[in-house]
Amino acid sequence: MVLTYLVKFKEKKMFTGIILGKGKVVEKRPAGGGMLFGLEADFALTDPEEGESIAVNGVCLTAKEISGRRFVVDVSPESLSRTNLGRLTTGSLVNLERALRLSDRLGGHMVSGHVDAITKVVERKPLGDFVLFTFQVPAGMGKYIIEKGSITIDGISLTVNSVDEKTFAVSIIPHTLEITTLGELKQGDMVNIEVDLIGKYVEKLLSVKSTEGEALQSKINPAFLAEHGFFK
C-alpha cells in the first residue's frame, strides 16, 4: 500500500484533508463549456507556483493567474456535474488546501481530490461547542464508509462517528467549525464526498481477473485480512 501511494505521488498531486483556510468566489463565468472561478484565499499563498494543484471543496483543480491571494481555476463539465461547485455563486465560501509535499506532515489521511459523490445534510445538532452532522449515505458508497474510518467532506478529513444503511454522522470540533465552511453548513445543503482510498484498493485487490477476464483466486481475502488485524 505504501508503494502504491508513492507511485500516485509521482503520477499526480495528493492532499491530506487538512484545510488551510477558506476562499471566497469573486468571479464566476462560463468558459470552454465549463466554468471559470476567480477565488480569493483568506491566507497567504506563500511560494505560489503557476499551474499548482489546489483542492477547492475537495476537488483537485489547477490554479493559474495567481496574484497575491487571488487565483483562477477552470472547472470542467464533468466536475460541475459530479460536485457541488456548480452551485457556487459570487460570494460563496469554499475550503482550500494546497497539494501535499512529500516532506509535509500527514495530519489527516490520503485524499486524491477526486470527489465520489455529493450528498445532503440530514441534520445539524449542536453538542456544546461541538456540532454533530448527519449526512445521507450516497448511493453505492455505503460499503466504503465504516465507523471510526476516514471520510472527506468538502475537502475536510473527518472521522465517521456512526453509520447505518441510510446515514452517517461526524462530530466537528470548534477549530474546524471556525476555519472551514462547516460552520455555515445547514440542513439540506449539499456537500462533496470522497471515501477513503484504502477501501477502494482493498476492493480492487479482492476482485482480481485474468487477462481473459476470468476471476482469479486472490491471496488477499477476508480470512487473510482478519488474520492480519484488518477486521475485528
Q: Cα–Cα distances in Å, from 216 out to 204, 222, 223, 227?
A: 12, 15, 16, 21
Q: Cα–Cα distances in Å, from 89 out to 14, 28, 80, 128, 184?
A: 27, 7, 13, 32, 15
Q: Are 69 and 44 in contact (CB under 8 A)?
A: yes
Sketch out the chain's domains with CATH numbers.
13-98 (2.40.30.20), 117-198 (2.40.30.20), 199-232 (no CATH)
The span from the CA of 116 to the CA of 137, in Å, is 12
Q: Cα–Cα distances in Å, from 74 out to 36, 43, 79, 140, 158?
A: 5, 21, 10, 28, 27
pLDDT by residue for the chain (232 residues), tens digit each?
444 444 444 445 789 999 999 999 999 999 989 999 999 999 999 888 999 999 999 999 999 999 999 999 999 999 999 999 999 999 999 999 999 876 666 677 889 999 999 999 999 999 999 999 999 999 999 999 999 999 999 999 999 999 999 999 999 999 999 999 999 999 999 999 999 888 887 777 777 665 555 555 666 666 776 776 766 5
